Amino acid sequence: MQITYQFRLYPTPKQEELMIRTLIMCRKLYNRAKEQRDTVYNQEGRTVTYAMQQNELPVFKKEFPEYKEVHSQVLQDCLRRLDDAYQRFFRGEAGFPHYKSADRYLSFTYPQPGAVSKTFARDRYVYLSKIGFVRMRTHRSFDQANVTQINVKRHADGWMAGIGVNIEAAEADQTAKTAVGIDVGLRTFAALSDETKVDNPRHLRRAEKRLRRAQQRLSRKARGSRNRQKAKQKVANIHQKVARQRKDFLHKQSHRIVQGHDLIAVEQLKVKNMIRNRRLSKSISDAGWRRFITYLSYKAARQGKRLVQVPAHGTSQTCICGADVPKTLAIRLHECKECGLVQDRDIVSAQVILQRALSIVA
């Protein structure tokens, strides 16, 4: 199992210049490779593969010597990123790949352990080939021998290094002493089967007023001006703060749940289909359900806990006694005529989810 740790980088002015130059050249290579794919397909009707473009890199670097300043595996990962975008399109998981502008291509990756073998030759420094030893703030320790890749990303307020590390998942305990079912929602972020609720912080909704004003100021600035660049930076800072608030909240809630329970039951949610609802898409994206389940999954595996995903069909329309209790979203109280249960509908849904998970485990 791989976990990615995020650490802040503090490059020198010369190193930052090299990192920005690396981003620029990777973006240009990405756009050139995409142009080649589209041109060959439109004119000759054949597909250009990742292997074909990778094999052309040595010739390409002779034609454009400036690309020798970028590590070869970084360039290969750039082409692999483009190939992944096309593969997702062919599988129906994403739209057709677009050309990348400077604001849309913000990271580069050293993808193999050999490329990062010197990463920790110095304490609190990360080694980036062709760039040098970059100072890094490490807020936690990890096994340096199991580093698999390094992703360097430019954020609105600086640079971050995402270091992927392979860890061994703990063996799950087959006798779960404590179990909990979780029903995620929008009014409350999550309802647990033990009748506790987690409030929905709505980070984006709370920042909408500030974001709207910042975007209005941005729209009034002349294109290409220095003032527009400053206004654009302010909009990016607001978006970044919202994203980090959401991430911090999800980490804390998932950690608390995994620490307190041996078995965690959740629904198999198809969030991609759910956000097609234009009335709820912003609220669903703001809640971060998919990331929450991802955090629960890897934290449970790391601590030897069990995460069970059950089919979502009918969990809100069924009673714990098994009777069907149909209700619309406007009805927030569950009332069963069969067993007489009267309870909050979200709590009942969480209990039904737990029941289904226990039956799967049994």
The residues carrying an active-site annotation are 183, 267, 346
3-state secondary structure of 262: coil
Q: Phi first, then psi: what are they for 162, rounded to 5°?
A: -100, 105
Q: In angstroms, rounded to a whole number, what is the distance separating the alpha carbons of residues 163 and 72? A: 19
CA 234 → CA 27, 102, 225, 228, 261, distances in Å? 24, 17, 15, 10, 41
Tokens of 136: 């890094």
Count of other CB atoms within 10 angstroms of residue 250: 21
Please answer whether residues 125 and 133 qualify as being in contact, where contact means their C-beta atoms are separated by less than 8 angstroms. yes
Do residues 185 and 346 touch, judged by C-beta distance below 8 A? yes
150 CB contacts (<8 Å, ≥6 apart)? 109, 110, 115, 116, 119, 126, 128, 161, 162, 163, 164
CA distance 231 to 220: 10
Start-to-end C-alpha separation, the chain: 26
Fill in the DSSP letter of residue 67: G
